[in-house]
Amino acid sequence: MHRYFSHYTFIYPDIYLKNHIVEMNDDGHIVRYFPFEKEIEKTEFHSGLLMFVPKDITLDEILYMKDIQLKLECVKNTSYCISDIIYDLCDEGEAKIN
């Protein structure tokens, strides 16, 4: 299990979060996400924007998401589990983290 926190998070295709923790299992599936309330052991903290995109999305397709920060004005403040898509984690410099 891996936990990631960032000030802004985008989960492809249309989930925008602010100050949330995202949990991924070892297979790359997002298990859940929830608002940050306190530090949790073994959580990786990242400044700026993290993007969770499916593994089959190319870097060219990721580039269209450059306006994500503008869309973060309408972030969701909810917690729930989501799909069985396998995700890659990218930072705002478009580098893959895992």
- Separation CA 52–CA 90 (nearest Å): 6
Select from 1.20.1740, 1.25.40, 2.30.40, 1.25.10 the CATH code of 2-91: 2.30.40
Q: How far is CA 61 from CA 1, 11, 34, 36, 80, in A?
A: 27, 14, 27, 29, 26
**pTM reported for the whole predicted model:** 0.65
Within 10 A of 49 (CB to CB), how many other CB atoms are there? 18
Radius of gyration of the chain (CA): 12
Can you tell me which residue has the tokens 């503008």?
70
pLDDT in tens, 40-69: 999 999 888 888 888 887 766 666 665 555
Contact 22, 11 (CB under 8 A): yes
The pLDDT value given to residue 80? 47
Residue type, position 39, single letter: E
